[in-house]
Amino acid sequence: MADGIPNTQSARRDSHAVFTQYINTKGTDPSMGNLYSVVFDVPKTLQYESDNALYKDFQGGKGNKQMHRTLNMYATAVNLPSKQLTTGQVLTQGAPFKYVTGTAYSQINITFMMPRDHSIRMLFEAWMNTIIADSNQYVEDYENYVCRNLRIYKFERGFGEKAFKDPGYDGQMRTQFGKNQKTPRLNELTACFELQNVFPFNIGSAQLNNNDARLITYGVGLNFERYRFIPHKNAKPQLREYGTKRLRENIDLSSERLD
């Protein structure tokens, strides 16, 4: 301890050159906020109650279904979910201390640019109307109206598979580079937010006016039950399995503390 400062040997003095090296190295370079993909599963209410194939037949991330492509391409802004531990408080003597009681999740908001046919607005209008119809105010069963999974995939620039191997870019690459395999690489998929049991609760307002022409956008508020953040395998923490024996040991330890 020097001059009363504890554990001085752990204090770091990283140079600007080291910082520059980190931000220019794959894996530690900064993440960008403009590379993502939004993929919805289809709720049962739309699958079984809609007669329009545009809304009932699209499957998240599969095939060339128009609606799932439109939702992904026209999602201009996404607020990622937050996670908070709820706490209680104990006061015996002196300063109180807090303890964890549970987990709380935020709602999320996705802003969509509207296509000319307003199909995205109609999708969420229809979805909300199947949850509770304003004609009778009867609420559908929870299991039927929730979207099982909403996945928000995060990409980072470069370092992915060769663009030549991707069916969506294959023709473009052949036109540009011929048979040369040394083609640009796709953006790398680095993480995924998987939201479970999702449903819309709000469609935001949009303004129409006779000023300069602007794109119409709507913010859609979505509630969800829980989420999982799934990073690239290299970034996953190696946590020990929380088995029955360990769970029992923690319960016994908590009981001793209460005694």
What Cα–Cα distance (Å) separates residue 242 from each residue in 20, 239, 247, 250? 39, 9, 7, 10
> Between these two residues, 53 and 243, which has the higher pLDDT value?
53
pLDDT, one tens digit per residue, over 10-63 is 888 888 898 898 888 888 888 888 899 999 988 988 888 777 777 776 665 555
Question: Taking phi first (over 0 means left), then psi (-120 to 50 degrees means alpha), and beta for anything else, what does residue 121 get?
Answer: alpha
Domains and CATH numbers, the chain: 32-82+108-258 (2.30.110)
The values of phi and psi at residue 172, to 5°, are -65, -40
Residue positions counted in the chain: 259
Of the candidates 186, 197, 191, 187, the one whose C-alpha atom is nearest the C-alpha of residue 153 is: 191
The secondary structure element, H or E, covering residue 173 is helix 167-177
87 confidence band (pLDDT: 50, 70, 90): very high
pTM metric for this prediction: 0.81
What pLDDT is stored for residue 10 in this prediction?
86
* Average pLDDT value for the chain: 83
3-state secondary structure (DSSP) of residue 225? coil
Read off the pLDDT of each residue in 243-250 and give the average, rounded to a whole number: 64
Query: Which residues, 6 or more positions from 8, have their beta carbon under 8 angstroms from its beta carbon?
Result: 1, 2
Half-sphere exposure of 205 (CA within 13 A, CB side): 2
What Cα–Cα distance (Å) separates residue 150 from each residue in 62, 122, 196? 14, 19, 7
Report the Cα 88 to chain-centroid distance in Å.
Answer: 29
Sign of CA dihedral 249, 252, 254, 256: negative
pLDDT, one tens digit per residue, over 221-237 is 999 999 999 888 766 66
CA distance 183 to 19: 30
Of the candidates 50, 226, 89, 240, the one whose C-alpha atom is nearest the C-alpha of residue 149 is: 226
Of the candidates 115, 68, 125, the one whose C-alpha atom is nearest the C-alpha of residue 217 is: 115
For residues 81 and 99, the answer to whether their CB atoms sit within 8 Å is no
218: pLDDT strictly greater than 90: yes
